[in-house]
Amino acid sequence: MPVVEDMRDAKVIAPNFKRRLSGVTSTIIQLVPVQNRLGQKVVTLGSGLPATLPKMRWLDLPALWSDGMRVWHARRNIEMLAGIVLRDLLRMRLKLVFTSASQRRHTGWTKFLISRMDAVVATSARTASYLEVPSTVVMHGIDPQRFSPPAEKGAAKALLGLDPARNYAGCFGRVRHQKGTDLFVDAMIRLLPDQPAWSAIVAGRATTQHVDFENELKKRVQAAGLADRILFVGEHTNINDWYRALDLFIAPQRWEGFGLTPLEAMATGIPVVATDVGAFNEIVTPDTGDVVSADNLEALTQAAKRYMDDASLRQLAGEQGRQRAEAHFSIEGEAAALGRIYA
């Protein structure tokens, strides 16, 4: 990781105090290069980040007593606390920003930490409704160049060893109960016997504590005689290629802080069926897909069926989704909005 040689070149600090990859860590990884292209001079502090991101060292902290004001952009409680200690106890020259993606009432401790921030960012209007302090909504964005429609759908499928003649519905993300992977599988078990042209793809990893959950889903698929049509393909770094192979994306989460997968699908020109959690009802509109109530297998199944049955509807929703993602949810737009808050 390139270490910043002169801390005068660092105007914003993005701490990452969690080693394991998470949605927050992923946000930092994607945002920092874009922010720096926009001249925001962001450096990271902490571990668990790729070597390509600019980094300050712990021994560089004394520089925060001098060389002008800087922004400390926290995304977790522990990072807010560290910022408060540096600013209020050690009297370092910092302004504190916190981004909240939570969609539940905060604990007293979290409320206290948030109350000490100089600015608060909410990742959706729903998230903002749970905050008791003024906030600015800045929704996450995606790279519309990375997530883009294929030149030819059949070739995109063949690239992954899939049948170019088949239609595919997909559910991407961690395999676990919270993500609703079982709802997707159960919906496909209901639908596929009457949809001979369709298959389904589950892409994502089951961490150790969720392996039994994934194995139970595979048993259900096997018992339904659909093991050759509901495919568990694991985790892939080229997930953008897997989106390009889809004809329908389903986001069946029971709970979500924000949730980027519908945006990634929309940017790839894929219609989306999502549950009413996270920011999904602020992302997916009636002309780009359907939003159904969470943990409702019947509603999810019927919405998926509507798109499976109508190729023209899929095409129109996919085109509208691509336009919406490009116009309103680019990562450059997210970075620019954060830059205005820093300023």
Position 1 scores a pLDDT of: 54
Distances in whole angstroms, Cα of residue 114 to Cα of each of 84, 127, 154, 264: 10, 14, 50, 30
Q: With 90 as the cut, is the pLDDT of residue 2 above it?
A: no
Looking at the chain, the whole-number percentage of residues with pLDDT higher than 70 is 99
Let me know: does 34 contact 335? Beta carbons within 8 Å.
Answer: yes
**Does one domain contain both 159 and 128?**
no
Per-residue model confidence (pLDDT) at position 121: 98
177 and 309 part of one domain: yes
Domain edge (last residue) among 83, 111, 137? 137
Task: Tell me which residue range forms the domain holding 119.
Answer: 7-137
H or E stretch including 334? helix 331-342
Examine residue 335 and state whether it is found in any structural domain, yes or no: no
Q: Are residues 234 and 313 in the same domain?
A: yes
Residue 144 falls inside a structural domain: no
Residue 89 sits in the same domain as residue 233: no
pTM here is 0.89
Residue 284 domain-assigned (yes or no): yes
Tally of CA atoms within 13 A in the half-sphere of 320 that contains its CB? 16
C-alpha triplet 301, 306, 304: angle, nearest 5°: 35
Which two structure tokens, joined as six digits, stand for 276?
A: 């009413």
pLDDT at 66 over 60: yes
Who wins on pLDDT, 231 or 7? 231
Q: Could you tell me if 245 and 292 are in contact, meaning their C-beta atoms sit under 8 angstroms apart?
A: no
Residues 181 and 171: their CA atoms lie apart, in Å, by 7
Q: Share the mean pLDDT of the chain.
A: 95
How many structural domains comprise the chain?
2
Give the count of alpha carbons within 13 A of 260, CB side only.
21
What CATH number corresponds to the domain at position 162?
Answer: 3.40.50.2000
**Token output for 33:** 């290069």
Over range 265-280, report the average pLDDT: 96
